[in-house]
Amino acid sequence: MLTGRNVVLGVSGGVAAYKAAYLARRLVERGADVRVVMTESAAEFVGPATFAAITGVHPVVDLFDDEDVSPHTTLARWADLIVVAPATASTLSKIAHGDASNALVATVVASTAPVVVAPAMHTEMWEHPATGENIQTLRGFGYTLVEPDAGDLAGGDVGVGRLASPDDIADVVQDALIGGDLTATSVVITAGGTREPIDPVRYIGNRSSGKMGNALAVEAARRGADVTLVTTAPAPNHPGITVVPVETADEMADAVWHIADETQIAIMAAAVADFRPADPETRKLVRSDGPPDLVLEPTPDVLAGFRERAPEATLVGFAAQVGDLSGVEDKAERKRVDLLVANDVSRPGTGFGSDDNEVTLVFHDGVTKALPIMSKRDVAKVVIDTVVELRS
């Protein structure tokens, strides 16, 4: 937990400021000593007395309205970590450019402590190029970003920009201070669906979006792992994730097998094609030539090849079923995995491209554990928790 750790909570002026009070409470419950620094705009949304009651110390709101002649440097030296939540577009910009014109930004700029930033704003502001550049600047500083969620926003809007949950932010703070349970562990994760070319334009593929693999990569990186994400899909931007873009099963196999002997955990979440055209055309096929005769051949078994090269690594496989999950226990034994994650991709709302999933965990001894429908991010947490337990 966070007993004996000093955390400065920076609160900037957005509607989500009320959630910062919950975050302060969560940090205090974990044992942290919490001090709050607020912008004047934040005080319009949540009164300083609220934070004083939670933390036992009155927040710093103004650089010149405090008994301390230099409150920002005092907080900066005191902090083991600074978390800014919510971080508005304005605050992100000020921090990125060193504009220490308010107490919150002055504290961040004056400190050498680790910084966690949890943005919250309307979707259009989050997606604006200036915000993107500021985020990249903060990443370059070594700051940890807690990505905003999608959901209901102020004014009745819906989209990306909602502040992450206080519990999730508290998890990131805790991991940043005491290290996650996968610190310095090498993890390779595969994601997305492979594309096997028919000609330079067309391919044999599947509907996998890569969302499950991305969620696993982010969760593993959040917990301190050195993650290599081998993917055919757009990847998350995270300082703990090295992305290796691939397209075909051959390319995925080469990338995974190349680092197998230095990998401690492998999670094969990609939907790899079982077959590919044996002789893809080098020119684009045209309708006037008539339908082609496709001769298929097997693709390499990425998971089996990894196990051969890394027999001691912890190996997790995924099984995308259609209909019932019969036979998955045999598959887990045949594939020599430590854990198999099986799901029915034909179920509405939990298959390819969905934000949710409903999976069954199959252990190497045949024991199964069915999980309820939950977000893929929550599935990732359960899978990583299970991997940590298996390794211990």
Q: Give the DSSP per-residue string, 242-281.
A: EEEE--SHHHHHHHHHHTGGG-SEEEE-SB--SEEESS--
What per-residue string of b and e applies to 64-83 under the rule 16 or more CB within 10 Å gives b? eebeeeebbebbbeebbbbb
Q: How far apart are CA 195 and CA 202, in angstroms?
A: 9
Out of 134, 206, 343, 357, pick the active-site residue.
206
Asked if residue 86 has a cis previous peptide bond (ω within 30° of 0), the answer is yes
Give me the DSSP letters along 162-179.
EPPPHHHHHHHHHHHHH-
* Closest CA relative to residue 196, chosen from 310, 93, 88, 276: 276
- Is 237 one of the annotated active-site residues of the chain? no
The contacts of residue 375 (CB under 8 Å, 6+ apart) are 355, 356, 357
Tell me how far apart the alpha carbons of residues 267 and 265 are, in angstroms, rounded to a whole number.
7
| Torsion angle, alpha carbons of 109, 13, 124, 122, to 10 | 130
Active site residues: 206
